[in-house]
Structure 1
Amino acid sequence: MAALGIVLHLGFLAWNVFAVWQNLEVTSANLSHGANTYGGRWKYLTFLNQVLQTAFFGVCLLCDLLHLCLSNRNRCCSVLARLKDCIFAALAFPLGVFVFCSFWSIYTYDRELVYPKELDSIIPQWLNHAMHTFILPLVLIELFACSHQYPSKKNGIAVLVVFGAAYLSWVHWVHYAADIWVYPILAKLDVVGKLVFFGSSLLIMLTFYCVGEWLTRLRWGSGRPSKRKKKKKSN
């Protein structure tokens, strides 16, 4: 099982590293791309998510290798496993699913609001799918192939909310500093529209967090000893 995890995570990590590298190469070569404006490509949630997924699978691979070489009771393994589970629960799964669903929903309605047609001549179609499509099957495979113990709902949601608030602040700072909106759809919304858009986006991400937790428990069980068992052990 450990060997299977290593192969799986090595493949996922290699794919994400390649996708990030290609993203950097393609967007750097074209000066008209938004990556060459204020904030660079770091203002795009898609790129941030891709970097996050890369880091996550890197942590997964390191965790697999340490578990193979060291005792599972090793403190380093335990801390890394908790970090891996927290990243998956609070960020990698809900954010990956959100990027997929939000991008393709808006794209289907009016692609100019999120991915103008002129980008087709800059970003290859396969790279577009690498950023916005393949993230979904990867996190789903991860969920069903590898067990993850979710943190307490309060802590997990707190991490997601902090990330969302930080990104929202960053988006508004970019607009304040450079008078540009990260996505064309934001330029077409008034204040109320933006509040509804950002509020609904946060609620959707929180929903995906709960879906990930539910699917994990459906596949692996709760993964936590009951209070009654804890009391027996303490006695």
Structure 2
Amino acid sequence: LSSTLRSPPLRPLIYCTFAAIFCYSLYYDVRFQPRLGHTWYLYKAVMLTNANFIIVTVYSVLQALNSIIGSKQLQSHLDFAFYIAVYPIGFVSTMMSCLIGWVLSDLAELRYLLDNKSDINSILHQRKIKDQTTFQCTVAIFWALYFFDPDFVMPEWIRNLIPEWLNQVTHTLPLIYGSIDAFLTRHKCPSWLTLFGVSVVMTFTYWGIVFGVRNIEGYWLYPIFDLLNLEWWAVVIFLVIFLYLFDISVAVFLNFIFWGKQQSESSKKQKRR
């Protein structure tokens, strides 16, 4: 079964199907979805979920094309993109979406906490179970909570703006696609030093965008940042780097499960000799 799925015509068909879904969804988002605050679609890309949506759409098209033409040079670039962007950002953006849903649905209470600091401990204690559950959400938990209590992860006014199928495509499908991609294609993994360096650069680049929006537009992309002091900012920044590396590790692990251990370049050269 594995060899059948990884061979023509099924492999190109699977990739082309995903590419068609992402392309139509992106077209629908650009053409019909409202843009709060700005008219250019590019402004939506400052949100991690939307940025990942664009990245995975471009990647899916190139991967579908390469499943047909079989270019090794293009595949090497796609392999790099898979490890440093497509899979880890898809994972992180899903968890961030869970966090955003929680923040938006409880924004009134967060404002109350800011204005009544004396009551913070008691209110946080009452909400401890809910908060811990939310912060530990994964894709499965996100949609389980969405099914049982949509207001828990996304307020009604946002649900009325975003069709449920588009919500599924932007929040869930990228991670599913990344896992299937890992099964269909053996991605050559860069060195861990490269992965670490890129993860740090990309993390601080996105933090630059977050702080840039705060300074230029006067608001945080994620309202929970209003609650953070300097110490918690340091914790969050390094936590995001750790989470990014963890997600890359998951991608490497998936590749190992589906394809086995990769040979290093030095071992390959020794065998050739």
- TM-score of the alignment, normalized to the shorter chain, above 0.5: yes
What is aligned with 2:54? Answer: 51
Distance 2:244 2:189 in 1: 16
What is aligned with 1:174? Answer: 213
Q: What per-residue deviation string (whole Å, max 9, x for no partner) do you get for residues 42-87 of structure 1?
A: 21111110111011112212212222xxxxxxxxx22211101000
Q: What per-residue deviation string (whole Å, max 9, x for no partner) do you get for residues 165-223 of structure 1?
A: 21110111111111111122222323333332232122111101011102211220123
Distance 1:47 1:140 in 2: 20
What is aligned with 1:144? Answer: 183
Quick check: 1:5–1:146 contact (8 Å CA) kept in 2?
Answer: no
| TM-score normalised per structure 1 | 0.83
Distance 1:47 1:61 in 2: 21
**CA gap 1:145/1:231 in 2 versus in 1, 3 angstroms:** closer
Distance 2:41 2:167 in 1: 22
**CA gap 1:112/1:204 in 2 versus in 1, 3 angstroms:** same
Quick check: 2:100–2:222 contact (8 Å CA) kept in 1?
Answer: no
CA RMSD in angstroms, aligned pairs only: 2.6
**One-letter code aligned to 1:60:** Q
Match of 1:40 among 36, 40, 43: 43
What is aligned with 2:86? Answer: 92
Give how far 1:108 is off.
Answer: 5.5
- 1:205 paired with 2:205, answer no
**One-letter code aligned to 1:148:** H
Quick check: 2:179–2:254 contact (8 Å CA) kept in 1?
Answer: no
**CA gap 1:108/1:169 in 2 versus in 1, 3 angstroms:** closer
Match of 2:74 among 77, 80, 85: 80
Match of 2:11 among 5, 16, 21: 5
Match of 1:214 among 247, 253, 256: 253
**CA gap 1:229/1:11 in 2 versus in 1, 3 angstroms:** closer
**Which moves more between the two structures, 82-91 or 195-204?**
195-204
Distance 2:42 2:214 in 1: 10
SS in 1 for 2:225: helix
SS in 2 for 1:181: coil
Distance 2:166 2:268 in 1: 50
Distance 2:32 2:223 in 1: 21
Q: Gaps (5+ residues) in structure 1? A: 68-76
Distance 1:232 1:37 in 2: 54
**One-letter code aligned to 2:230:** V
Q: Which runs of 4+ in 1 moved over 6 A?
A: none
- 1:17 paired with 2:17, answer no
Distance 1:185 1:93 in 2: 25
Give how far 1:41 is off.
Answer: 0.5
Larger radius of gyration: 2
- 1:60 paired with 2:63, answer yes
**CA gap 1:65/1:88 in 2 versus in 1, 3 angstroms:** same
SS in 1 for 2:221: coil
Q: Percent identity?
A: 23
Quick check: 1:90–1:157 contact (8 Å CA) kept in 2?
Answer: no
